Copies of this chain bind each other. A is one copy, B any other.
């Protein structure tokens, strides 16, 4: 007897989250003896509760599914919705009744930390009622902050984006190289500095820009920062500094919070600027040099300009492996990556208990953060480089990438 799949996406997007979706759908369709239809939740578990879903397996008849693979964002739509802590809540029987009506045997949820919480709760509830539906999480996050996995799908492409763009910004910064200047690049990452650390790949040679790199794993000292900038300007007149948005001082105050004192706008809103803008003003005030700050915006998580072939393939494989694991009887698991070797790069796929993943964050090891917290070590380069390799050619029309979208 066949059972059906339901798959959903949750949390912030990545450039390759749809690669995992493609993997789940494509693999799901390869087992007609055991799997019937492949449904997609529209806007994750939140939309599903409101009855929003589609027969995504039917896209297989069109070019659309192939295009989904390289489309950034979340093809099915996402949500930020946390299931109630109490498994006694009425939402659980409600959900499982829907699963039963749809003949669901396999549930896949593609997301980060909070999404694994959803998988954890549903699998635990299933156990209490003796349901045999299998619940598997497929990791994704540009933040690379999930435990129990070497890295997360989505990180490699975001890291490659950051490295490339910081190299471009460094080229731009040296255009007026007869005048001193400081360029501060603010990169996503509130508690983990993985993405900011990847900016080290932008260096063309030892000592090249970005000369200074600050991650949130260690406390940020404004005076020490000014001293480092002063020192660095002596040998690098056009200095590029990369910082995580989440850098904070010793007592945990985010650096961006210092700028929240600046007042209110014409509507009475508190003016909040980022850490980069705050440090721009600090450097201008203290050193009197030309300074600019650049906030790498959502392109960090949605640009398909610098897709890593390795990352896209691994994302897809994570989706495939999720289906195979569910068919093998696993539930309450997240697909994880086990690195066998860095040179040459070899990866194995496995599963980890979702319950020990969902409320933890993996940060950059302190021994990889050097130079009083202003630089990253070469060990990190060995770690990150394999994840950013290989080129992905996108389908284009008139020179602009083609994306899939739900009509």
Contact = CB atoms under 8 A, between A and B. Distances in A.
Contacts of A172: 13, 72-73, 298, 301-302
Interface of A: 12-13, 42-43, 46-47, 50, 52, 71-74, 77-80, 160, 163-165, 167-169, 171-172, 174-178, 201-202, 204, 258-259, 261-267, 269, 271, 273, 278, 281-282, 284-285, 294-299, 301-306, 308, 385, 388-391, 396, 398-401, 403, 405
Given A171-B72, A204-B405, A398-B201, A176 B262 contact: no
A305 B80 CA distance: 32
25 contacts: A43-B177, A47-B178, A52-B178, A72-B171, A72-B172, A73-B171, A74-B175, A79-B178, A165-B303, A167-B403, A168-B299, A168-B401, A169-B302, A171-B302, A172-B301, A259-B265, A261-B265, A261-B266, A265-B281, A269-B284, A299-B299, A308-B399, A385-B399, A389-B398, A389-B399
Contacts of A79: 176, 178
Given A165-B303, A298-B169, A73 B174 contact: yes
Given A78-B176, A204-B405, 4 more contacts: A13-B171, A72-B171, A168-B401, A391-B399
Given A204-B405, A299-B165, A388-B398, A175 B306 contact: no
- Of A80, A284, A294, A405, chain B has the most CB atoms within 10 Å of the CB of A405
Contacts of A264: 262-263
Contacts of A401: 164, 167-168
A240 to B, nearest CB: 11
Contacts of A77: 174-178
Contacts of A74: 175
B263 A263 contact: yes
Contacts of A389: 398-399
A168 B389 CA distance: 21
Contacts of A174: 73, 77, 405
- Of A50, A79, A262, chain B has the most CB atoms within 10 Å of the CB of A262
Nearest to A393: B391
Nearest to A293: B297
A385 B405 contact: no
A168 B266 contact: no
- Of A46, A47, A175, chain B has the most CB atoms within 10 Å of the CB of A175
Contacts of A72: 168, 171-172
Contacts of A403: 167, 171, 204
A13 B170 CA distance: 12
A303 B80 CA distance: 33
Contacts of A398: 201, 385, 388-389
A387 B204 CA distance: 31
Contacts of A13: 171-172, 175
A71 B12 CA distance: 33
A308 to B, nearest CB: 7
A163 B400 contact: yes
A308 B398 CA distance: 11
A296 B163 CA distance: 17
A169 B298 CA distance: 7
A235 B389 CA distance: 41
Contacts of A204: 403, 405
Contacts of A294: 297-298
Nearest to A47: B178
7 interchain residue pairs of minimum CB distance: A263-B263, A73-B171, A305-B305, A172-B302, A262-B265, A267-B285, A43-B178
A297 B295 contact: yes
Nearest to A11: B175
